[in-house]
Structure formats: structure tokens, C-alpha cells
Amino acid sequence: MAEPLLQLSGVHTHIGPYHILHGVDFAIPAGQLTMLLGRNGAGKTTTLRTIMGLWQASSGAIRFDGQDITKNSTPNIARAGIGYVPESMAIFTDLTVRENIVLAARSGPVDSARLDWMLGLFPALKRFWNLPAGNLSGGQKQMLAIARAIAEPRRLLLIDEPTKGLAPVMVRSMIEAFKALKAAGETILLVEQNFYAASALGDNVIVMDDGRIVHSGAMREMVEDKNLQQRLLGLSLDAHQ
Amino acid sequence: MTDMAVETTTSSEPLPRTKTDWLPLLLVPALALLALPFIGSGSTWVTLTVAGLAMGMMIFLMASGLTLVFGLMDIINFGHGVFISLGAYATLIVLGPLAGWGQADSVWLNLGLLFLCIVVAMAVTGVVGAVFERVIVRPVYGSHLKQILVTMGGLIVAEQAIHAIWGASPIPLQLPQTLRGAFVIGDIVMERYRVVAVCIGLVVFIGMQLLLNRTRIGLLIRAGVENPEMVEALGYRIRRLFVSVFVAGSALAGLGGVMWAFYRQTLTAGMGMEVMVLVFIVIIIGGLGSVGGCFVGSILVALVANYVGFLEPKLALISNILVMALVLIWRPQGLFPVARR
Ligand SMILES: Nc1ncnc2c1ncn2[C@@H]1O[C@H](COP(=O)(O)OP(=O)(O)OP(=O)(O)O)[C@@H](O)[C@H]1O
Ligand SMILES: [Mg+2]
């Protein structure tokens, strides 16, 4: 089997005095969508931030595309080709939608084909193009945050809970957008609480609990195995359907 | 920079309205108009208003860099006043050999001299700013208490260095020949140098606005003020941006120092420190990190100081604090609060 695009081996992360990640191991194969599930406080966000270098892993190794990026700075990790959509979205509210996108395309102007593709995924952005992004609704901000991550070609997208707080209709259009990204061949690591959304999208699934990986495998396997769902995800399964 | 044109499609969904915040901008004309009946004489009012605008521009020049440094880097730099003093003293480097230009009865030679003073002062303060950032500020990122202590230390060292180089006694400074005196139109009297200061302040403000709103580096600075971490996650090395902004902020303080020095017509090593109270007041009024707010805040404070100084001199000293208190009661985050995470 080919080397996975991203590989975490025994990653520990401390935030100040707190030991948050306790030896996280997983691999993300290229060209697939991997879901990262787990209850609140399991360490999903911390895992993504550690990959981005926003927290420094205290031990263990993170390999991306054959390179050890464990000790790299955040800008260098981004430049290696990782796009990041944080849980807080972190859009620049003072900048217009257009300026947010311009800034996200670091290596040069967005070509028109890519722009059309992006705005085809998120048509709402087109209408608010020259408005300060702070004026957007929550769902539109989320779209902008994702559009920013794909404003230039990336090797891997890390997306943290994009459906959090969205109305069901918005969740559905978000799922459609991810299907389109998948079809375009993007490699995605997606954190999701919503198992309905997760099962509709994921090729693979990783489940975290208490800073550790407690399960990883094919999504299909998990969808078929109700016991596994019950054991790993508990009530969250029913709560979100 | 890209100009991505996207046609706006029509749709039944209402567009969110753009929230342009005009109120703080109206404060300045409102204040000026309010003062008019109290002052009574129209010509006195014009004189006071021009004086206030000139002073406001100079405060803005001295403060604008600091507000960006604070907004972008979350650094409290008490040493900023050094760059004001240093910029002021740097005029001596030019005035020594080119004293003749200042005595000449030619507007162009006089303005040329002022311009050269500004260029040299900005170069000197820019270079010293780069060293200051590297040696004094960089080791204390993340800790406000250490920043206050260490930058205060830097300030004391730099003031002593100025004493060592240029001597401890105040040095008189003469305005170039044609910039002395006043324009008199009817019974309106406007000191020439003040008019020059207003023009320079406006040019710098417009330049900064263009830079911040029309260039990629400006976008980066605005984005960085709001969320430096996300700027890094997009692949930008924000450290370099920090250093450039620190250097630019120091150079702007140097420019403000030159203008301030010719206004006071005296050089003292402590002159930068003396205006720092005003500088901190205007960046707090404006909203930490906001250049536009700093501009409005500077003019507001200076106009009030001039009007009150004329109407009720005893209150002049506390008028700044009063303005700050009123603004903060209205908007606790300052006139133009800058969004942060
Ligand atoms: N800045 C921080 N300082 C201290 N502890 C933190 C910090 N950030 C996260 N933690 C702790 O780390 C643990 C994991 O948090 P994390 O945000 O990674 O969880 P999560 O799986 O993303 O949860 P959620 O589903 O609620 O987003 C939690 O116990 C949290 O309290
Ligand atoms: Mg999280």
C-alpha cells in the first residue's frame, strides 16, 4: 500500500499544564474523505491544531506527504499544502468576502475557472462579494471559511465541525458541497458531530475519546454495525438523526 | 492584486446591509459647530479650529504607528516615545549642514529642508525601530507586564543616549524662514506651519488608508489585527509583517517627532515621553488597532483641548481625560472597535 498522505504516530500534545492528546495514531489516505468523530472535549480540535502547528506536539511524529512536519511552523505547514477551516471559522470580518478570498490565495490570483468552481459550490458568496464578511450569516461565514481553504489548490483540507449550529437545510447544502469536493478528488479530514452527515460522506472514520483514538476503519463498516455505533458514539447517534 | 469581477445575481433573499459606521465621523464637525456659539467670534473660531486640527494631525502621526503595533502584535510599547524624541533630534543632522536652506527666503528651499528632515528622521527611527524590536521587544512577546517593564527600560536607555549624543540641555529649533508667521485673511489668522502640519497629516492619513485598503500588504495587516493565527494558517509568515509594521510605526513616530519639534521650537530628550499620555489617550479613544479611529480620536482630543483652553483655561489639563471618559462611556471599546477572535 502507498504511504498515506498524512500520518500521525504517537502524538502527545500539552496545552500549558494539561496533557490533552495521549498518543494519537492515524493515517489519512490520499483522495478520500476521513471523518473524525468523538464527543465534546475528546480532542478533535486539538488534533487539527496540532497538525497545523498551532499547538506544538510534545512528542510523536506527524508526517505529511513523506516529510516530517512535526516541528514546522504554521505558515510552512500551510505552504506544504494544508488548508484549514477552524472550528471558530476565523473569517476576517473587517475584510470583504472578496478580500478574504484574495488573501487566502497566497500564491497568486485565483484563476477564473477555480473561482467559478468555488462560487458554484457556494453561490451565496457571489451575492455578498463586496460586503464586509462580518455581515454574513453563520452559514455564509462557514461557506466563506471553506471557500478560503480551497482558494488555491491544496493537498489536504482540515475542516472542523462545519455544520455546527446550522439549520437542517444549510446542513444539507453543506453536505452537497462536501460531496462535490470529494468528487473533485480532494483529500479531506472532517470533524463532525452529526453522524447523519458523517455517514453520508465519509470513506473512513476515526473515533476519538479522551485524547486517544478508539476506533478507525471504513465508514461502511460502521454504518452497518449498530453495536459499534452504540458503543463508540453512544447517544450522539440518536440525538443527531 | 487580483480584481476578481463577479457579477451579482439578483435574488429574492434580501442582501445584508453594509454597516458603515458614520457616527464617530460626525463627532468632529458636530463638536466644531457646537463650539462656535460659545466662542462667539467666527475668526477666533477658525484660528482655534485650525490650531486644533494641526495639533490633532501631529498627535495622529505620533500615535498611528503605535495603534497598529498594538493591534497587530498585542505589544504594549512604552518605548514608542523614544522614536518621537529621536525623530525630533534627527533634524539636527540635516539642519547642521543645511542651515542656509532654512534662512533662505524661498518656500521651496524651506519646504525642501523640512522634507529632508522628515526623510532623515524616518530613516533613523526606522533603523532604530528595527533594532529595538529585535533586542527589546522580541524577547517579551506574550507577556504584557514584561513588555511594560522592558520597553520602559528601553525608553530610559534611549533618552540617556540622546543626552550623551546631543547634550542634556534643551536645544532651540528655528522654523524655516517662510514657514514662520501666519496667513491673514480678513480677520482670520492661521499660522503657516499649522497649515503645513495639517497638509502633511492628511497626506499620511490618506496614504495609510490606501495602503490598508487597496494593497495586499494592507489586507494582511487588517486581517492580522483581527486574527494573526488564521493569517499564519493561510501560509503567511506574520513575524515579517510584525517587523515591517514595527519599523513603519517607529518611522511614523519619527515623522511626528519632526513636526512636533518644529511646532515647539525646542528639543528635549523627554519631549516624546511627554506626549505619550496624549498618544495613549487617542489610541484608546479610537479603538486599539484602528487607524481611522486614531485619526478621529486625535482630532477630537486636540480640538477639545484648543476650545477648552480658550474658553476655560483651568479645565484644559483635564479635558483630554474627560473626552476619553465620555467616549468610553458611549463605546467602551473605543470609536471603532476592532474585532478580535
Ligand atoms: N486552550 C486550552 N487550554 C486548556 N485546555 C484546553 C484548551 N483547548 C482545549 N482544551 C481541553 O482539551 C480537551 C480537548 O478539547 P478539544 O477542543 O480538542 O475537543 P473537541 O473534541 O474539539 O471538542 P468539541 O466537540 O466540543 O469541539 C478538552 O478537555 C478541553 O477542555
Ligand atoms: Mg472542537
At A79 the pLDDT is: 96
The full length of chain B comes to 341
Distance CA B125, CA B108 (A): 25
Question: Closest partner residue to B2 among A95, A110, A136, by Cβ?
Answer: A110
CA distances for B321 relative to B70, B207, B260, B304, B327, angstroms: 21, 29, 21, 11, 10
Domain architecture of chain A: domains with CATH: 6-81+154-240 (3.40.50.300), 91-146 (no CATH)
Asked whether the beta carbons of A125 and B16 are under 8 A apart, the reply is no
By the 10 Å C-beta count (0-12 exposed, 13-18 middle, 19+ buried), A117 is classed as middle
Asked whether the beta carbons of A240 and A195 are under 8 A apart, the reply is yes
Residue A83: which of A9, A200, A5, A163 has the closest Cα? A5
Query: Mean of the pLDDT values across residues A6-17?
Result: 95
Residue predicted with more confidence, A69 or A165: A69
Report the SS3 class of residue A230: helix
Q: Which of A208-217, B92-101, B273-282 has the lowest mean pLDDT?
A: B92-101
Asked whether the beta carbons of B86 and B124 are under 8 A apart, the reply is yes
Q: Which of A3-17, A80-94, A151-165, B97-111 has the lowest mean pLDDT?
A: B97-111
Give, for ligand 1, the residue of A11, A12, A18 to mutate: max count of ligand atoms closer than 8 Å to Cβ.
A18
Positive or negative: CA dihedral B115, B118, B122, B128: positive
Residue nearest to atom 9 of ligand 1 (CA): A46
CATH of domain B26-31+41-330: 1.10.3470
Residue nearest to atom 29 of ligand 1 (CA): A41
At A23 the pLDDT is: 94
At B24 the pLDDT is: 84
Asked if the model's pLDDT at residue B75 lies above 90, the reply is: no
At A233 the pLDDT is: 77
Greatest mean pLDDT among A80-89, B42-51, B74-83: A80-89
pLDDT one-digit tens code per residue, B231-280 = 999 999 998 898 999 999 999 999 999 999 999 999 999 899 999 999 99
Query: Mean of the pLDDT values across residues A82-98?
Result: 94
Asked if the model's pLDDT at residue B15 lies above 70, the reply is: no
By the 10 Å C-beta count (0-12 exposed, 13-18 middle, 19+ buried), B337 is classed as middle
pLDDT one-digit tens code per residue, B50-66 = 999 999 999 999 999 89
B1 neighbourhood in chain A, CB within 8 Å: 102, 109
pLDDT one-digit tens code per residue, B299-335 = 999 999 999 999 998 888 889 899 999 999 999 888 8
Domain ranges of chain B: 26-31+41-330
At A1 the pLDDT is: 54
| Closest atom, ligand 1, to C-alpha of A87 | 27
